[in-house]
Amino acid sequence: MGRQNKHLKNQIYEPEKCWVGEIQKICYGSKEEAEVAAKVAEYDHGAKNLGVYKCEFGDHWHLSSK
């Protein structure tokens, strides 16, 4: 393992979030990115009927239950 990989191993990724109502939701940079995240959530966690929508507070997308 290279020196750079060892350093990155200890990093924790924290996705960008914004407030939607009273909760913070993960922001996705594009509709396509959000759609892929919805498919991954369905595959990994059995989440069904996830949709995507453009945030009214910024230039990004969120997941929603249909």
pLDDT in tens, 22-46: 999 999 999 999 999 999 999 998 9
Where does 2-60 show beta strands of DSSP type E?
17-20, 23-26, 50-54
Q: What 8-state DSSP symbol labels residue 5?
A: H
Percent share of the chain, pLDDT over 70 = 86
| pLDDT score recorded for residue 65 | 87
Instruction: Inform me whether the pLDDT recorded for 1 exceeds 50.
Output: no
- Please tell me the distance from the alpha carbon of residue 57 to that of residue 16, in angstroms, as a whole number: 14
Q: Which pTM was predicted?
A: 0.75
